[in-house]
Amino acid sequence: MGEVKILAIESSCDETAAAVVADGRNVLSNIIYSQIDLHTLYGGVVPEIASRKHIEKINPVIEAALRESGYSLKDMDAIAVTYGPGLVGPLLVGVAEAKAIAFAADIPLIGVHHIHGHICANYIEHPELEPPFLSLVVSGGHTHLVMVKDHGVYEVLGRTRDDAAGEAFDKVARAIGLGYPGGPKIDEASKKGDSTAIEFPKAKVGGSDYDFSFSGLKSAVLNYINHAEMKGEDVNRYDLAASFQKAVVDVLTEHAVMAIRQFDAKDFALAGGVASNTALRAGMASACEREGVRFYCPSPVYCTDNAAMVGVAAYHEYLKGRFADYTLNAVPNLAM
């Protein structure tokens, strides 16, 4: 088999993205059109506006991805697309586009699970990484602790019961007036603050040891702000951001370490938009070092939504012959 080249599309939220990936690791192009500026006006992603922007941008983004890869559509061995989970309108734009291209170019179609994509982003810059390994996926919509047993074989150990980690970042950022998207803003603000200034409660949840909950922490932050306002006191936004961020990082790290020990993991891979958080990367890296576990994390550009990760995940589906047909549809709450 020669080199397998896959054209991949990602449009599940507010990034319109296309990439060409060879043999599941080699990214030949990775084009991302971010709609962030558009949604900042509204303080969050507006699904209908996102859908319309995807329609406008998807063709130019795909053309740019092909151009930059140095190949044309006829050189592609397959077309891959995220079909869930995500926002239904945005997902449909990508899925319809991919089906049309698969039909026109007469190449196989591959449907990719967005979270599998995030995990697979780790393969791009770490050629030595192979399953089995433990992965923590933290994004705007998801917080999953996952055992990657083999390529395409995942076991979810724990997940959030309420808000996702990124969602908590976004909501707290809004509450302290840092704007959208909150994650990067809190990350920056924390650098000027004292993470031990305020002690926020650590969320406890019943059921699985590995499940997460962030809504209590979010409420604690909001209560703290309200109390301060009622007493006419100023809130130090930097200390608050740093203390909140520390609470999130501590909980994520503790759960990960618990799983590392229980499953005797040798490799640990961080993934998802929140994986670009400086404190989380540093905290997880040193926890892994203490546990004698190899730590992996994608570069920030492969942490937040992109299509290269979709092309990587699709390669393993391609090798297994797991193709979709033209009935492929968007599945907003696609299970893991």
Q: Which residues bind Zn ion (CB under 5 A)?
A: 139, 305
Tell me how far apart the 2 most distant CA atoms of the chain are, in Å. 70
Binding-residue pattern over the window 287 to 316 for ligand KG4, x denoting contact by CB under 6 A? -----------------xx-----------
Which residues inside 186-225 make contact with ligand KG4, applying CB under 6 A? 187
- Cβ-based neighbours of 87, under 8 Å, separated by 6 or more: 12, 13, 45, 47, 50, 51, 332
CB of residue 277 vs ligand KG4: minimum separation in angstroms? 3
Rounded to 10 deg, the angle between the 114-125 and 308-320 helix axes is 100
Site for ligand KG4 contains 166 (CB under 6 A): yes
Which lies closer to ligand KG4 via its Cβ, residue 84 or residue 184? 184
Which residues inside 61-100 make contact with ligand KG4, applying CB under 6 A? none
- Amino acid present at 204: K
CB of residue 329 vs ligand KG4: minimum separation in angstroms? 20
CB of residue 60 vs ligand KG4: minimum separation in angstroms? 21
Which lies closer to Zn ion via its Cβ, residue 167 or residue 239? 167
- Cβ-based neighbours of 235, under 8 Å, separated by 6 or more: 176, 224, 225, 228, 229
- 117 touches, from Zn ion, ligand KG4, none (C-beta below 5 to 8 Å by class): none
Q: What DSSP character marks residue 31? A: E
CA distance 125 to 3: 18
Choices 98-106, 123-131, 176-184, 194-202; region in contact with ligand KG4 by CB under 6 A: 176-184
Q: Which two tokens stand for residue 88?
A: 């239904």
Angle formed at CA 219 by CA 246 and CA 139, multiple of 5 degrees: 55
CA distance 220 to 16: 35
- Amino acid present at 284: M
Q: What DSSP character marks residue 74? A: G
- 166 touches, from ligand KG4, Zn ion, none (C-beta below 5 to 8 Å by class): ligand KG4
Residues 32 and 302 sit within 8 Å (Cβ to Cβ): no
CB of residue 11 vs Zn ion: minimum separation in angstroms? 11
Q: Of the candidates 89, 181, 193, 298, which one interacts with ligand KG4 according to CB under 6 A?
A: 181
CB of residue 316 vs ligand KG4: minimum separation in angstroms? 20
The footprint of ligand KG4 (CB under 6 A) covers 13, 139-141, 166, 169-170, 181-184, 187, 272-274, 276-277, 304-305
